[in-house]
């Protein structure tokens, strides 16, 4: 089951479940679409894997299996 992390790891932008802006890699590293499209060119900086739109969890399932509250924030350094 996806963790549905609450924010972009690069810019800390909020990414709630209902927002279509979240992108993830196969290791569930989470980024917003702006960081993915511009700074990261669609590639995860952690694993070099493809970043794809994160699925949304239906409301009924979200009640039983809530999204993660763990925020991972690793601001971009000089290399972007």
Domain annotation for the chain: domains and CATH numbers: 1-63 (3.30.40)
d(C-alpha 29, C-alpha 15), whole Å: 12
- The string of pLDDT tens digits covering residues 31-56 is 999 999 999 999 999 999 999 999 99
* C-alpha span between 74 and 61 (Å, rounded): 30
Residue 75 binned pLDDT confidence (cut-offs 50, 70, 90):
confident
CA distances from 48 to 24, 42, 45 (A): 12, 9, 6
């Amino acid at each position: 089951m996806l963790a549905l992390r609450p924010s972009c790891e690069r810019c800390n932008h909020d990414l709630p479940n209902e927002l279509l802006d979240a992108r993830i890699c196969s290791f569930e590293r989470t980024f917003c679409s702006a960081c993915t499209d511009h700074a990261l060119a669609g590639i995860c900086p952690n694993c070099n894997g493809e970043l794809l739109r994160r699925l949304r969890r239906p409301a009924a399932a979200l009640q039983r299996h809530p999204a993660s509250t763990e925020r991972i924030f690793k601001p971009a350094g000089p290399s972007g």
